[in-house]
Each structure stands twice: as C-alpha cells, then as structure tokens.
C-alpha cells in the first residue's frame, strides 16, 4: 500500500503540472503521513545531507562552462571545423550538424544547450541550401541528445551521485556510444540526402585553418578526461577548470566574451542549477523513504518473479525508460528511477556503470519523443517549424537511436571496453 500511496501521489502531482522537485517532496510527505512511523523532519534532513556533496558541485560548474563556451564563440568555430571535415559529402550540411553537435557535446554536457548552440547556426544554413526545414530541425534535435552521452555529461554526474558509481567511469563509458550514435545519425542523414537530392557544400574550407581556430575549444575534453584519469583532479575539480578555461579562452583568445555575455552565462547557469539542485535534494528524501520501506526490494522481487532472464528484464526496463522519457525530463527520470531500478540490475549481475550508460541513452531518446521532448521544443523555437512537423520528421532518427540502445544494452563491451581497460 505504501508503494501505491507514494507513486500515486507523485503521478497525481505531476499531472497537475507541479514542478518535479516539489512533487517529489510532497509525495514523500504524503507517504510519511500515511505510514505514520517516520517523522516528517526526515525530508529536510535527507535533502540537506544530500546537497552536502562534493561530486554534486560538478553540475553548476559544467553548466557554467557550457554557457561560457556558447557565448564565447566556440560553437561557431566547431561548426566551421565540422564543415571542413565532412561538408563535401553528399548531404554535407546534415553531416556537419551531427559532427558539430558531437564536438559541442564534449564541452557542454547538456542536450538542449547543444541544440540551441548548434541549431542557431545550422538550421538556417540548411534551410538556405534547400534542405527541408522539418528535416533540419529534427536532425538537430536528435543530434543534440548526444550532449548527454559524450562526456562531460550532467546526467552522468547525477547518476554517479545517486548510485555511488564513479563519475569518471561514467564519463569514459559514454565516449564510444556517443560516437556510434553520431555515425548512425549521419547514416540516416546520408540516406535521406540521396533520396531527396540534398546538396554538398560547394567549396569546403581547408581543414588546417579551421582546426587552428577550433584548437582551443577541442582541448577542453582532453583537459577534462586527461586530468581525471591522469590523477591530476577529480571530476568536480575538472568542472571548475573547464569553467575557468572557457572564461579565459572566450575573453582573451576568441575575444567574444564581454561583461554583458559573461553575466548572461552566469545567469543561465544559476537558473538551471537552482532547479536541478532543488530536485536532487528532495529526490534523496524520496530515495531514503524508498529504502526505509524496502520498496526497491519489493519491486525487484516482483520483476524477478516475471523472469530471471537478464535479456528479458533489460528489455522491460528499457521499455519503461522509453515510456517515462516521453513525459518526464532526463534528469528527473534518473533521480526517481535509479534507486528503484539499479537494485534489480545489480541482482542480475549487470555492472552499474553499464546500466547507467544504457539508462542515459534510453532517457536521452526522450529528448526527441513527444509530448515532452525538450530538444523538440528548442529546435522548434530556433527553426520556427511546428512541433507536429518536427515530430513526423524525427521518426527515422528515433529508430536509429533505438537501434543504438539495443546495441549498448546487449553488447556491454561497446560502453564498458574503455572502462575495463582503465580499471
């Protein structure tokens, strides 16, 4: 009955459009009142205890680094480099969009931020070259989801904090899957370009000049991952280094940051981090109640009674994640579902890093699935194309994402190979 009260309250509150953080806290309070065995002060105690976390500090600094890089002209230089590398291929601008999103993903950690930064350049460029506007918006929205898979990734940090898994290992697990997803989207783009006759770029720029321009931007992932695995700094310290680096590069090398844009970057990061931190704090109270009432154990026992096959349970969990991703954003879903699903996967012998990667990819698909689809909303705002048209055009790209999800689920070496090598 406690399960019904807790999750029933949560679903009802979310249906009433109450913010996810408040919904988590209120659902926990309602369940505590119903049971009557645990004092209500537990909510505040666990929320504040959860926020007293050094790894959690990585989130605001990665957000700040991404904002500073967006305002500092880095996205424009990454687009130029991608154009030099793949622009001459059939449907070149589509390829450029995917590759530029992959580059920006390695410095932003956010899906919607990647869509906004790259889409503002690439969607108008594709429309100018007579690409269908709905295709351009759908491609950018889907490619933007790579922003939470290629490290650094804010959802990876969240998963690491909630599950206790190494954030550094989560970062490493996302490198190969992010590249595979990018190549899959390029393949779909190439097929569409052949079918609809989309052009190549007429005169691709030389690689060397654009590489020199983008050199300082491309150093960011090298500094972050190299520093973490070289034992120089922790993921949290890497986020601080990335923020300082972005500020210095944007101000003194690219010279596109001034007081106004720096203020805007800090404001954007503060607003997003405020909402995220509030959610994380109350989610820990929610998770604490789950543990006290042994709800994950009960759900685990029930699911394992259906089947003890890792293949079957993984398929059921993926379907659940895909459905949830249609209605709840990536970070919120991860906060709510990790304490529930991770014990099940551990019982089946699944590596928690592998499950975190699969969970992130499944929920990232939710960025481009209606009705929530945060990336769809951003792409619609940037392109001026209606949500309905983008939702139709995005179907082939969603199928590519689902194919990749199955690969990562049932071939662990794709995500865990580098992790095993470095352990």
Model pLDDT, residue 408: 96
> Tens digit of pLDDT for each residue in 374-410?
778 778 887 888 878 888 899 999 999 999 999 999 9
Model pLDDT, residue 57: 79
Question: Dihedral of CA 63/149/415/329: which sign?
Answer: positive
> Tens digit of pLDDT for each residue in 351-371?
999 999 999 999 998 878 876
Q: What would the mean pLDDT of 156-181 be, rounded to a whole number?
A: 91
4 burial (CB, 10 Å; 0-12 / 13-18 / 19+) is exposed
Model pLDDT, residue 201: 64
Taking a C-beta distance cutoff of 8 angstroms, is the pair 214, 80 a contact? yes
Q: Name the token pair of 196.
A: 């609809």
**Is the predicted pLDDT of residue 205 greater than 90, yes or no?**
no
The pTM of the full predicted model, rounded to 2 decimals, is: 0.81
**Is the predicted pLDDT of residue 372 greater than 70, yes or no?**
no
* DSSP code, position 253: I
**Is the predicted pLDDT of residue 89 greater than 80, yes or no?**
no
70-97 in b/e form (b: 16+ CB < 10 A) is: bbbbbbbbbbbbbbbbbbebebbbbbbb
Q: What distance separates the 2 farthest-apart alpha carbons in the chain?
A: 72
Is the preceding peptide bond at 204 cis, omega within 30 degrees of 0? no
> Tens digit of pLDDT for each residue in 307-355?
878 899 999 999 888 888 876 777 778 888 888 889 889 988 999 999 9
> Tens digit of pLDDT for each residue in 26-55?
888 888 888 877 788 888 888 787 777 777
Taking a C-beta distance cutoff of 8 angstroms, is the pair 135, 192 a contact? yes
Question: Dihedral of CA 25/31/33/37: which sign?
Answer: negative
* DSSP code, position 89: S
Model pLDDT, residue 352: 95
> Tens digit of pLDDT for each residue in 229-249?
777 888 888 888 888 988 998
> Tens digit of pLDDT for each residue in 52-77?
777 777 778 887 887 887 788 777 78
211-226 in b/e form (b: 16+ CB < 10 A) is: eebbebbbebbebbbe
What are the angstrom distances between the C-alpha of 202 and each of 84, 88, 92, 197, 216? Answer: 12, 7, 10, 14, 27
% of the chain surpassing 70 pLDDT: 96
Mean of the per-residue pLDDT values for the chain? 83
* Other C-beta atoms lying within 10 Å of the C-beta of residue 411: 11
Model pLDDT, residue 381: 80
């Amino acid at each position: 009955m406690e399960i019904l009260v807790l999750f029933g309250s949560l679903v009802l509150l979310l249906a009433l459009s109450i913010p996810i953080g408040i919904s988590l806290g209120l659902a926990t309070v309602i369940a505590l009142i119903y049971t009557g065995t645990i004092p209500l002060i537990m909510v505040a105690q666990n929320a504040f205890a959860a926020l007293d976390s050094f790894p959690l500090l990585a989130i605001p600094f990665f957000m700040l680094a991404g904002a500073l890089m967006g305002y500092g002209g880095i996205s424009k230089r990454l687009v130029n480099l991608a154009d030099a590398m793949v622009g001459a291929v059939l449907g070149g601008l589509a390829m450029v969009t995917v590759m530029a999103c992959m580059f920006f993903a390695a410095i932003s950690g956010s899906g919607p931020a990647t869509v906004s930064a790259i889409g503002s350049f690439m969607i108008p460029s594709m429309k100018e070259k007579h690409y269908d506007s709905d295709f351009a918006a759908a491609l950018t929205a889907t490619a933007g989801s790579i922003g939470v898979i290629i490290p650094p990734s804010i959802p990876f940090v969240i998963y690491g904090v909630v599950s206790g898994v190494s954030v550094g290992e989560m970062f490493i697990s996302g490198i190969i899957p992010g590249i595979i997803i990018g190549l899959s989207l390029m393949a779909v783009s190439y097929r569409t370009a052949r079918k609809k006759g989309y052009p190549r770029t007429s005169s691709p720029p030389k690689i060397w000049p654009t590489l020199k321009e983008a050199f300082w931007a491309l150093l960011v992932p090298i500094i972050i991952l190299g520093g973490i695995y070289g034992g120089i700094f922790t993921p949290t310290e890497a986020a601080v280094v990335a923020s300082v680096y972005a500020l210095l590069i944007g101000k003194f090398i690219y010279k596109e940051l001034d007081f106004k844009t720096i203020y805007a970057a800090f404001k954007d990061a503060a607003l997003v981090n405020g909402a995220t931190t509030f959610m994380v704090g109350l989610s820990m109270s929610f998770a604490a109640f789950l543990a006290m009432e042994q709800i994950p154990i009960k759900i685990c026992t029930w699911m394992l009674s259906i089947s003890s096959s890792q293949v079957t349970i993984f398929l059921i969990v993926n379907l659940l994640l895909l459905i949830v991703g249609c209605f709840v954003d990536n970070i919120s879903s991860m906060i709510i579902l990790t304490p529930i699903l991770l014990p099940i996967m551990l019982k089946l012998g699944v590596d928690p890093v592998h499950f975190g990667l699969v969970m992130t990819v499944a929920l990232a698909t939710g960025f481009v699935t209606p009705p929530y689809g945060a990336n769809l909303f951003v792409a619609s705002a940037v392109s001026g194309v209606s949500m309905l048209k983008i939702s139709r055009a995005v179907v082939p790209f969603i199928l590519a994402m689902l194919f990749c999800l199955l690969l990562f689920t049932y071939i662990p070496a794709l995500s865990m190979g580098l992790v095993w090598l470095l352990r």
